[in-house]
Chains A and B, each alone.
Chain A
Amino acid sequence: MKEGVQVKEGLRVKEPLRVKEQLHVKELLRRNAVPALFLCMCVLGVLISGQNIRYIAQELISRLARNWFLVLSLIIPVTAGLGLNFAIVLGAMAGQVGLIVATHCKLPGLVGLITAVVLSIPIAILLGISAGHVLNKARGREMITSMMLGFFANGLYLLVFLFMVGTVFPIDNPEIVLDTGVGLRGTIELKYCKYALDNLLRIKVLGINIPVGSFAVVIALCFGMRWLYKTKLGQELRAVGQDMGVASVAGINVDRTRVIAMVLSTVLAAIGQVIFLQNMGTINTFNSHQQIGTVAIASLLVGGASVTSATVGQGLIGTLLFQLLFIVSPAAGQRLMGNAQIGEFFRVFIGYGIIAVALLIHSWGRKSSLESASRQAMMKEEAKTTGSM
């Protein structure tokens, strides 16, 4: 098998192929325009806010520890051509169910956390399978459908935890149930497994607390994802993401592959939500899951991802920039306008704005087929590099 490399030097075609591109600084900037723009905004924000760097760093570290995993759970559906998975809300609900049960059973620390994860996984798998099947029926409109699925599932979630707890499920636990005995409390304190993962191993560097446990899980996920894309399944996910027609002619079961992508994403989101909440220390029973969809998606997009392509690196960097903006914008707003709320508005505007822009670009791009677009981009780049004759 060693000849593999040597045979590369076969016959050469008449015109040498010119797809191997050179990366100039300009080109790099053009490709990473979005993260670059946000980096500038972050730097400005940090300067204007005048906050203590150590404070910012500490905030950032803990926000990264709780958000990275969730953001990374979005990547698989993007590579499988399902677009931005707003339905990770479903996974988050599954994670919360696990945590609520663990809290109810008063399971302490890591045991509680692991129980929560173990409980949430089958729920997430079920939700993922059903979401996958629905999205297979709604080809080409996956994103809006997944968003609607999130709202729909939220209705069920409310029904179960606001009405059925205490009536259908006899749960008598004043720590989590409302005084009336029916429905969960709006906020549930995670007394028993708060910081379970973060405290697994904490080190202090320059006075900054670093939750090594949580970061280790994220790193494991990164390597796991990298490995996934080296397997047969990963190859199928990528093939389906590029062109369902071609993949199906090659004999790949497209529907099944898409369902698998949704299941993986939902399960990862469930775990991500458990990690997120153990760091927060309280569950906002009826709100926590709702926000994560848009925040995670905005983070991924800030990293330079698009509806059709996303990498782990983009997820990591995007979260970093987005959360940094989160931290500094209220203070920056206070300094600039004398009102912290202005900074807050700005941040929300950015968060939703970037999603809107990504969706717009996507729907424009769909008009021209992928191939011709890429070919023309190629030609244009070619023209730019060889340019002036």
Chain B
Amino acid sequence: MDDNWVLQVKDVSKAYGDNPVLNKVNLSLKRGEIHALVGENGAGKSTLMNILFGMPVIHETGGFTGEVWLKGRKSEIKSPKDAMDAGIGMVHQEFMLLPGFSVAENVKLNREPTKPNWFSKVAGPKFETINLHKMGYDTRQALDRIEIGVDEWLPLMGMPVGHRQFIEIAREIDKTDLSLIVLDEPTAVLTETESSRLLSALNKLAGSGIGVLFISHRLDEVFEIADTITVLRDGEVICTVPKHEARVENIAEMMVGRKISNSKATQPGRTTGNGNILEIRNLSVDMPGEYVNGVDLNVRKGEILGIGGLAGHGKLGIANGLMGLCHSAGTVMCDSQEIPLNDSRAALDAGLVFLSEDRRGVGLLLDESIEDNIALASVVSRNKFVKKVGPLPISVEDGKSIREHAREMISLLDIKCTGPQQSVRRLSGGNQQKVCVAKAITMEPEVLLVSEPTRGIDVGAKERVLSVIKRLNAEKGITVVMTSSELAELRSMCDRIAIMYNGKIHGILSPDAPDAEFGFCMAGGGGVPGD
């Protein structure tokens, strides 16, 4: 056996019940290689990761067939602990961090450096005192290795997601005999600058001889750093190619197994209503990291308005402020009625519905079923799906109509699930987002505020989510305010695009304005005055 192989996966198959998810998967990874694993939702990437990391969910459902070899030797990974001992580090898609602990405590979780004391000599190593000093020092080293300057003793609670991602990575590289690091969608929640920093950190890690297995939806990133690319579709490896032989279009095509239609920009000359549905005056929003500072903006009835800009310039703050999720000040008129700010209920009553960028935190009740997630908000604020109990002046949820409606939504949005009663936590990112969209549709919004609708979801789901939003706009005349970091997405969807700079609207551009103009505007230069 060649010692250069850090990881070899041989003929691994796995089924959940009668449902095959992996079929004879083969994958090999060299020392110092960055290997990208790409595939759509439900292609089996997460299952493969779970197998590599010995997650209980695999062994509770009957294990898998095939072999996993590490460093040239066959290994049995029965638990996360085995995987860690074998030198596998894992950066999970859902953060495996404790909010109440400090950065250092998280990095060193269950690997705390300890000092023996008289009691521990009698009662065992569990009673050794934790060496806080060394804990902080080691953590600092790990954080410095990936060049992140966050204070190691700050509590994790309230830290931006970008930082959390880096802390997860710091935790993995702090493990002394790390030979393989697996990253599941590490850039899904990062801004562009953070992503590029992460990628350069990964390059450095690979340079030090660690194998990197990198799962991503973003092909541009994959092409930027990967040495080898493996495409997984429906549980099978479609191909493994060195990067220099691969082309983006081919890979994307293999991922979805069908031709991708380039989503076209909205037809020019599309008529949008004349009146303004939203008139925002001097809006300020106190959203940490995304402050909005005096925004004036009119949203026309029936249009799709894009809000773009670089991270940290306040584009996310507008929607969160309008919905009363962050403290805000200013005046907002909806259909010439003033909406009281800092009152989520009032915003909902005025017909505003928000598809949050934080779908796990704000958008979904992760432990509730799909149907309840779709219907609950409407039950509460729209009085839908309720029925009277006989002559009594009380009403209850109508389970039957909720179920029916959920079924409709599942087929409309192509939500991949076992049924309307499945809990949302088990769904993949793309399908969770679809549930959020279904929930928003059910609310019958006048104005739909959409933030980062495609963050962290794969190509197929992306297309579906965007096309549904577009259809809602076209067929039901719902006004859409869409916030996104991806300019290409905004340009394919919007009638007008407002660019935020330093908490203010810097200019409003047409979607077919040249790239240079967008770039110029985002960087705070020139700018076109808004309407």
Q: Which residues of A contact B (CB under 8 A)?
A: 1, 3-5, 7-8, 10-15, 17-20, 227, 230-233, 235-236, 238-239, 242-243, 245-252, 367-372, 374-376, 378-380, 382-384, 386-389
The CA-CA distance from A233 to B111 in the complex, in Å, is 12
Most buried by B among A245, A247, A369: A369
B329 touches A374 (CB 8 A): no
The answer on a CB contact under 8 Å between B157 and A19 is yes
Residues of B within 8 A of A386 (CB): 286
- CB closest chain-A residue, reference B287: A379
Q: Which residues of B contact A375 (CB under 8 A)?
A: 157-158, 361
Cβ-defined contact, A382 with B286, below 8 A? yes
| Per-residue interface assignment for chain B, residues 409 to 445, with 1 indicating a CB less than 8 Å from any chain A CB and 0 otherwise | 0000000000000000000000000000000000000
Least CB distance from B431 to A in Å reads 18
**Cβ-defined contact, B109 with A250, below 8 A:** yes
Q: Which residues of B contact A19 (CB under 8 A)?
A: 154-155, 157-159
A141 to B134, CA, bound (A): 38
Kindly state whether residue B223 has any CB partner on chain A within 8 Å. Answer: no
User: Mostly helix, strand, loop or mixed at chain A's interface?
Assistant: helix
| Pair B288/A251 contact, Cβ less than 8 Å | no
CB A125 to nearest CB in B, in angstroms, measures 14
Inter-subunit contact A250/B96 (CB<8 Å):
yes
Q: Complex formed: what's the CA distance from A239 to B111 in Å?
A: 12
Please, which residues of chain A bring their CB within 8 A of the CB of B120? 231
How far apart sit A382 and B227, CA to CA, in the bound complex (Å)?
Answer: 44
Count chain B residues whose beta carbon lies closer than 8 angstroms to a beta carbon of A: 65
Interface residues of B in 139-194 (CB under 8 A from A): 140-141, 143-144, 147-155, 157-160, 163
B154–A387 CB distance below 8 A: no
For this complex, 6 residue pairs linking A to B, each with C-beta atoms less than 8 Å apart, are A13-B150, A14-B312, A17-B150, A246-B97, A247-B98, A375-B157
Q: Nearest A residue to B161 by beta-carbon distance?
A: A375
A248-B80, A252-B110, A383-B327 given; A231·B128 CB < 8 A: yes
Q: Are B325 and A7 in contact (CB under 8 A)?
A: no
* In the bound complex, CA of A97 to CA of B195 (Å): 63
Q: Which residues of B sit under 8 angstroms from A247, Cβ to Cβ? A: 98, 109-110
Q: Closest 4 interchain pairs by CB? A: A383-B327, A11-B149, A372-B361, A4-B137
Q: What 0/1 pattern do residues 348 to 371 of B give for CB contact below 8 A with A?
A: 000000000010111001100000
Question: A residues within 8 A CB of B125?
Answer: 232
Provide the residues of chain A in CB contact with B127, threshold 8 Å: 231-233
* Contacting residues, chain B, for A11 (C-beta < 8 A): 144, 147-149
- A246 B96 Cβ-Cβ under 8 A: yes
Q: Which residue of B lies closest to A229 (CB)?
A: B130
| Interchain nearest-CB distance for A25 vs B (Å) | 21
B98 contacts A239, CB within 8 Å? yes
In the complex, B4 has a CB within 8 A of chain A: no
Q: Would you call A4 and B148 a contact (CB within 8 A)?
A: no
A17 to B360, CA, bound (A): 22
A12 to B358: give the CA distance in the assembly, Å: 25
Q: Are B80 and A15 in contact (CB under 8 A)?
A: no
Tell whether B289 is near chain A: CB-to-CB under 8 Å: yes
A17 to B96, CA, bound (A): 21
Contact of A383 among B154, B286, B366 (CB under 8 A): B286
Given contacts A4-B137, A13-B149, A387-B327, contact A370 B129 (CB under 8 A): no
List of B residues within 8 angstroms of A13 by Cβ: 148-150, 163
Q: Which residue in chain A gives the minimum CB-CB distance to B82? A: A251
Q: What 1/0 mask marks residues of chain B from 214 to 241 whose CB sits below 8 Å from any chain A CB?
A: 0000000000000000000000000000
A18→B288 contact, CB < 8 A: yes
Chain A residues lying within 8 Å of B153, measured Cβ to Cβ, are 8
Contact A372 B358 (CB under 8 A): yes
The distance from the CB of A5 to the nearest CB of chain B, in whole angstroms, is 8
Q: Judge whether B286 and A8 touch: CB under 8 Å.
A: no
Once bound together, how far apart are the Cα atoms of A14 and B150, in whole Å?
10
Does B284 belong to the interface (CB within 8 Å)? yes
Known: A12-B149, A249-B55, A389-B286; 11 extra A-B contacts, CB below 8 A, are A7-B137, A235-B105, A242-B98, A246-B97, A247-B98, A247-B110, A251-B84, A368-B365, A372-B358, A378-B157, A389-B293
Beta-carbon contact of A379 and B137 below 8 Å:
no
A212 to B105, CA, bound (A): 38
Which among A4, A371, A372, A388 is the interface contact of B133 at CB below 8 angstroms? A4
Max chain A Cβ within 10 angstroms of own Cβ: one of B79, B130, B147, B148? B130
Is the pair B109, A232 in contact by a Cβ cutoff of 8 Å?
A: no
Cβ of B99 within 8 Å of any chain A Cβ, yes or no, is yes
CA of A10 to CA of B101, assembled, Å: 20
Complex interface residues of chain B between 88 and 137 (CB less than 8 A to chain A): 92, 96-101, 105, 109-112, 114, 120, 125-130, 133-134, 136-137
A239 close to B110 (CB less than 8 A): yes
Residues of A near B114 (CB, < 8 A) are 231-232
Whether B130 lies near A7 (C-beta < 8 A) is no
Which residues from chain A contact B112 at a C-beta distance below 8 Å? 232, 235
| Nearest chain A residue, comparing its CB with the CB of B83 | A251
Q: Report the minimal beta-carbon distance from A81 to chain B, rounded to whole angstroms.
A: 11
> Which residue on B lies nearest to A368, using beta carbons?
B365
Known: A4-B136, A12-B149, A246-B98. A372 touches B326 (CB 8 A): no
A374 CA / B97 CA spacing, docked (Å): 14
Contact B80 A249 (CB under 8 A): yes
Smallest beta-carbon distance B149→chain A, Å:
3
Residue contact B151 to A389, C-beta cutoff 8 Å: no
Do residues B96 and A249 form an inter-chain contact, with CB atoms below 8 A? yes
Does any Cβ of A come within 8 Å of B73's Cβ? no
Q: What residues of A have a CB within 8 angstroms of the CB of B289 in the complex?
A: 15
Are A8 and B152 CB-contacts (below 8 A) given A232-B112, A251-B110?
Answer: yes
